[in-house]
């Protein structure tokens, strides 16, 4: 069983989507647990998040009923095991029983990429980062609590940083098409990232498109002025002047 949180919420059982009511209690409960897949959630916290306006005894009964319902619906994909296990008052996803979560796989791929890059294995690091980016189907599908909002932003920043590292790694290997693609994907999410604009400028120069590199600088300048009434960083300005005067040094 695979739970997808990065993008629209989805559960896959033996590779097939499971029908759950969008925004319903089951989705909310599984989302809460999947945001904290290793540590789980205390029953009182879970009850308060999923049934916030229900008296505790009734909410606890609803929780038990939902657990039985989820087991009936999902256990056949886990060799009869429940998708959620609990010890005393603590509930966790049954990771050892076959439940997997995209956020865990995303972080595992990132860790592998960081390790490989630090070892100088750039090509292998690119493969790991590509796996991470492929898992990121969109912002974290979780609730609106402060903790969940912080987690959503953390994953978003991690994805953008990974795209920047991919662009740098491809540029290092002279894979300019791939470096350009990674930088443009980053800009499609955050058009104010100057490091990505600079990467686009550099790759265009290396690909023999000096005029396009200069146009990218103008685009960067216009975006920053429109969004923040700000001018480009000195590094961006320096790159622009270098491209104008001596592109061979880029």
pLDDT above 90 coverage of the chain, percent = 89
Q: Which residues of the chain have pLDDT under 50?
A: none
The H or E element that residue 56 is part of is helix 56-74
Check residue 36 and give its pLDDT. Answer: 87
DSSP, collapsed to helix, strand or coil, labels residue 169 as helix
Q: Which CATH class is domain 101-173?
A: mainly alpha
Q: Which CATH class is domain 2-98?
A: mainly alpha
Length in residues, the chain = 250
- How do residues 108-124 score in pLDDT, each as one tens digit? 999 999 999 999 999 99
**Separation of alpha carbons 59 and 142, rounded Å:** 20
Give the per-residue pLDDT at 84.
96
Provide CATH 1.20.58 ranges for the chain: 101-173
What pLDDT is stored for residue 134 in this prediction? 96
The residues of the chain that CATH labels 1.10.10.10 are 2-98
Distances (CA, A) of 22 to 10, 11, 32, 72: 9, 11, 15, 19
pLDDT of amino acid 88 = 84
**Per-residue pLDDT tens digits for 172-222:** 999 999 999 999 999 999 999 999 999 999 999 999 999 999 999 999 999
């Amino acid at each position: 069983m695979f739970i997808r949180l990065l993008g629209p919420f989805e559960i896959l059982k033996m590779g097939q989507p499971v029908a759950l009511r969008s925004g319903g209690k089951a989705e909310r409960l599984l989302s809460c647990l999947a945001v904290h897949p290793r540590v789980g959630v205390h029953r009182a916290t879970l009850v308060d998040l999923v049934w916030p306006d229900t008296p505790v005894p009734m909410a606890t009964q609803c929780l038990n009923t939902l657990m039985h319902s989820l087991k009936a619906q999902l256990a056949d994909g886990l060799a009869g095991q429940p998708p959620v296990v609990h010890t005393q008052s603590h509930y966790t996803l049954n990771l050892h029983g076959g439940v997997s979560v995209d956020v865990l796989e995303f972080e595992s791929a990132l860790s592998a990429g960081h390790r490989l890059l630090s070892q100088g294995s750039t090509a292998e690091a690119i493969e790991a980062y590509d796996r991470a980016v492929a898992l990121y189907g969109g912002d974290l599908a979780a609730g609106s609590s402060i903790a969940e909002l912080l987690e959503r932003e953390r994953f978003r920043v991690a994805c953008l940083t990974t795209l920047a590292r991919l662009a740098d790694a491809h540029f290092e290997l002279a894979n300019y098409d791939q470096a350009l693609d990674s930088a443009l994907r980053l800009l499609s999410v955050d058009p104010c990232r100057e490091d990505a604009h600079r990467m686009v400028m550099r790759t265009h120069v290396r690909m023999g498109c000096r005029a396009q590199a200069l146009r990218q600088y103008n685009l960067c300048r216009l975006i920053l002025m429109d969004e923040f009434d700000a001018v480009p960083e000195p590094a961006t300005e320096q790159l622009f002047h270098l491209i104008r005067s001596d592109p061979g040094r880029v």
